[in-house]
Structure 1
């Protein structure tokens, strides 16, 4: 089941100067405002997500149009600025800044960098493949022009939820853990989920904690379930995961102090701190100029539950999914393998992000030590043949037992799955 509604610089390079067209047949009043998360252009090789005003480089304020394009076939694109000052349309050729992580898929997340025309305050723009388009164009509202005070200290960005996701119990536990640790907002890009998951999401939306962005990528491209084209040769990797993470960064650029980039089966767990707030205060005291913090990802395999019972969880047995309190054994790092990290970032320090690293940003990356925190990743095993005696017992999640059990029981009392 899929939601059918939404609730929720490059330095040293410059696009060409805008050319002004005062009497253009396609005025902005002709255009229809796009309300879709993904909008296909007429070439069916360019897909616009959203434009964001970006003035972090004082010398080159621009509009950064987040998009997905075919990495070879799309050569030129143009931004049509709808000037509110004199109702003219001004056109600027976009610089196509393709993200470096493409993993061999044909389609790549791309920033269309359009220099804002002088004396043209635009709230809307269109994107086209030609500088002489004369028919109606979809309009996009330029985001992030009006900056307001933060509405959250921590926002968790969850990339694409797909495959009719149905791990309800772990989802509820994770949502409650996020709040215990300090999240005020969670954003999920939803492709598909089970009816029970939809009910749970609606519950959290009503509480004002969850924002769901519809992500019907399969309408436009053949999405892969794998990270690399060689594993599953489709159009784009992991249902367009990279585009959603970047969109979430820019959506929250000026709404939140920090953004966490992780999956719904991952929790960044501090060891000596009880919350992300105190953790980040400590880290920023050590690294006051840096805003990108990377945490080691550790697998807690769902194939190795601990033999322990917990009180007051009798109502959990009828809820589909895994109980994370049962999984306190983690796999050791694999020698000679890339051991992934996940991130807490100051979004204003991020230009482009990948899944496990920032591709372009301001300041240095800080690798947080395992003694400080880790990513608790409760999923299927990576090292399937590893005996239990080789696993590391790590009960950090249990220090939140009392609050977690109480909060999950409250949620289950308020949601009926009958």
Structure 2
């Protein structure tokens, strides 16, 4: 009888253990679901966990595209998952935290979706999926799903970055987004990259959708040097992309400028703890100090003048490519295609009652959301840097093509870099066998 009683107690204990491990339980509003630890597969299915290495990963319904996940403890223990969402159809998402070293179980938490303020009328745009991290969980990976527990064919898993910040590897990083099309403006591309280097940048991050073979050859050179980092950006595999800024200009497309806004957001968080400052501009734009020689010297004074600022807005000036001066026309080989920015020293005056765009130098650790021309959400203030301190040299097609040259404003600030720029660019052209 005693043996039967012991066997019965053992059987009850075993049954309770099985139920505990394989049935869902609730605690403080968090549902916990067990996964078979020896195979990393979901219960009652044969669906394996897939760790995504892509820069854009569609979820199964193609209404949400995950870019990357970043730990963000500035306000609370949160993982900020950067996504591209369909504005009308995505209302609820869940974060799956993998709290075990072997990703053998996940904890599911309802997310808060923070839609960025500007989508410029397009149906898809950037949104931050905010995932409060459960207590006693220091997850290295996370998944995003529209269900708290639904089994699917594949649930992509994303690495959580920025959890263990390292010392800065750069004082200045330039974020370029997005590169698309088949332009062949080799000279201006190399001049811009060398100007960034002269001004003090240690890294340039380019979100590349496409480029010409010749520009690709140039980028390969800078990647091999470690100066340029290329983030593949195949946004047009998933969405109809536009090369204009507002949906009203092209109503058939789903997202603007090849996903420029989410690319900028990723560049902000990617470099948040790698770089002391981050600048946001296009490859045809250069932030030029008027009196200082480098960005380092410029920022040293700006921080003194604006101690509470984290975003420094630099006024844009259009230098039309059709208005050139003869100076420095022989500085580079004639067979190299592209615009010589040393010959662009006239910019258009501001148009009355038209907002003049800005580009930025930011302290990324004080910025939460970024847009093209300003920081849309910050923990500190933004300041307009006076034009006599710094300006944006933007060499492009004219914005006001009917203006006579006599109406333009002469600005030769870029000439103070002419010796270094000419020497550096010609050395790169030599290494590329273009000299």
Q: TM-score range by the shorter chain?
A: over 0.9
Question: What's the secondary structure of 2:98's corresponding residue?
Answer: strand
Deviates more, 1:82-91 or 1:158-167: 82-91
What's 2:125 paired with?
108
What TM-score, normalized by structure 1, do the two folds share? 0.93
CA deviation after TM superposition for structure 1 residue 303, in Å: 0.8
- Is the 8 Å Cα contact of residues 285 and 392 (structure 2) preserved in structure 1? yes
Q: CA deviation at 1:23?
A: 4.7
- Of stretches 23-32 and 77-86 in structure 1, the one that deviates more from structure 2 is 23-32
Residue 75 of structure 1 corresponds to 91
Determine if the alignment matches structure 1 residue 66 to structure 2 residue 82: yes
3-state SS, counterpart of residue 142 of structure 1: strand
Q: Give, in whole Å, the separation in 2 of the partners of 1:200 and 1:414.
A: 10
Structure 2: distance between partners of 1:322 and 1:280:
29
* Alignment match, 2:355: 338
1:132 alignment counterpart:
149
CA contact (8 A) 2:329 2:343 kept: no
Matched, 1:295 2:314: yes
Which residue does the alignment assign to 2:302?
Answer: 283
Could you tell me how far apart the structure 1 residues matched to 2:29 and 2:113 are?
15
How far apart are the structure 1 equivalents of 2:260 and 2:209?
Answer: 11
Q: In structure 1, how many angstroms separate the alpha carbons of the residues matched to 2:357 and 2:369?
A: 18
The Cα of 1:133 is off from its aligned counterpart by 1.9
Task: Please give the secondary structure, in 1, of the residue aligned with 2:88.
Answer: coil
1:349 pairs with one of 347, 366, 370: 366
Q: CA deviation at 1:48?
A: 0.3
How many residues were matched structurally?
Answer: 399
Per the normalisation by structure 2, the TM-score is: 0.89
Corresponding residue number in structure 2 for 1:399: 416
Q: Structure 2: which 5+ residue stretches go unaligned?
A: 1-27
Mapped pair 1:219 → 2:237: yes
Q: Which residue of 2 aligns with 1:183?
A: 201
Change in 2 beyond 3 A, CA 1:301/1:334: same
Question: Superposition pairs for residues 8-407 of structure 1, below 5 Å?
Answer: 17-23=29-35, 26=42, 30-57=48-75, 60-84=76-100, 87-135=104-152, 136-233=154-251, 234-310=253-329, 312-313=331-332, 315=333, 317-407=334-424
Deviations 1:39-94 (A, max 9, x none): 0001111100001100001xx21000000000001121111111125842100111
Looking at CA atoms only, which structure, 1 or 2, has the larger radius of gyration?
2
Cα deviation 1:268-291 (Å, max 9, x = unaligned): 000010000000000001112221
Measured in 2, the distance between the counterparts of 1:311 and 1:232 equals 41
**Inter-partner Cα distance in structure 2 for 1:67 and 1:293:** 26
Q: How far apart in 2 are the matches of 1:239 and 1:270?
A: 30
Cα 1:280–1:29 shift into 2, 3 Å: farther
CA distance in 2 between partners of 1:21 and 1:284 (Å)? 50
SS at match of 2:259: helix
Alpha-carbon contact 1:17-1:115 (below 8 Å) kept: no
Q: Distance in 1 between matches of 2:136 and 2:198?
A: 48
Deviations 1:184-203 (A, max 9, x none): 00000001100010000000
Residues 163 and 85 of structure 1, relative CA distance in 2, 3 Å threshold: closer
Which range is displaced more, 47-56 or 165-174? 165-174
Unaligned runs of 5+ in 1: 1-15
Moved over 6 A (4+): none
TM-superposed deviation, 1:117: 1.0
Determine which structure has greater relative contact order: mean sequence separation of CA pairs < 8 Å that are 6+ residues apart, divided by chain length: 1
Name the SS for the 2:249 alignment partner: coil
**Alpha-carbon spacing, 1:400–1:117, altered in 2? closer, same or farther (3 Å):** same
Relative to structure 1, is the Cα distance of residues 411 and 85 closer, same or farther in structure 2, using a 3 angstrom cutoff? closer
| Superposed displacement of residue 30, structure 1 | 3.0
Indicate how the Cα distance of structure 1 residues 17 and 356 shifts in structure 2: closer, same or farther if over 3 A, else same: farther
